[in-house]
Amino acid sequence: MKYLLLKHYRGGPAPVVDWAPMEQWTPEEVDAHIQYMRDFAARLEETGEFVDERALAPGGAFVRYDGEGRPPVTDGPFAETKDLIAGWMIIDVESWDRAVQLAGELSAAPGPGGEPIHEWLEVRPLLTESLTVTE
């Protein structure tokens, strides 16, 4: 069963730890955070549970269809938005419980001072080709 782990830079439930925004971290703290995620992905590659992952740039826009012969409508970017997705990871695991377990481990990525940031991760099951939830 495949699940999407969404890393919200902003948004989601109130943080457990009040950590400084990443742009205020030292370069060493940022490197340690990224290395933790790389090591986590490498471990999942070894177990066959890793599918893909990407970090996202903060820019972007909402886009929608506006009718035949008309250009798409865009709205954004919204620097002030309360919700900003920093990245995502797709995992392929045997159960919802395993997906939640792994999300909890990924949530322990270090932040300022090398302490776990306890960030909230959104866990979402992917739909199968027949448009059913893979739970």
CA distances from residue 97 to 88, 100, 117, 128 in whole angstroms, order as listed: 19, 5, 22, 19
Residue 36 lies in a domain: yes
Please give the sequence-ordered ranges of beta strands (E in DSSP) within the chain, or none if there are none. 2-10, 50-55, 62-64, 73-75, 84-92, 121-125
Percent of the chain with pLDDT over 90: 58
Is residue 52 in a domain?
yes
Query: Is residue 131 situated within a structural domain?
Result: no
Consecutive H or E run containing 104: helix 96-106
Element (H, E) at 42: helix 27-47
For residue 112, pLDDT over 80 is answered with yes
Domains held by the chain: number: 1
132 belongs to a structural domain = no
Q: Does 130 have pLDDT greater than 80?
A: no
Report if residue 28 sits inside a domain. Answer: yes
pLDDT digits (tens, 9 = 90+) for 53-94: 998 887 777 888 999 999 998 886 655 555 667 889 999 999
5 vs 123: CA distance, rounded Å: 5
Whole-number pLDDT of residue 78? 57
Residue 103 located in a structural domain: yes
Ramachandran area for residue 23 (φ above 0: left; ψ -120 to 50: alpha; else beta): alpha
Pairwise CA distance, residues 76 & 78, whole Å: 5
Angle between helix axes 27-47 and 96-106 (nearest 10 degrees) is: 160
Give the residue numbers spanning the domain of 35: 2-125
Instruction: Give the CATH number of the domain where residue 9 resides.
Output: 3.30.70.1060
Q: What pTM, to 2 d.p., does this model score?
A: 0.81
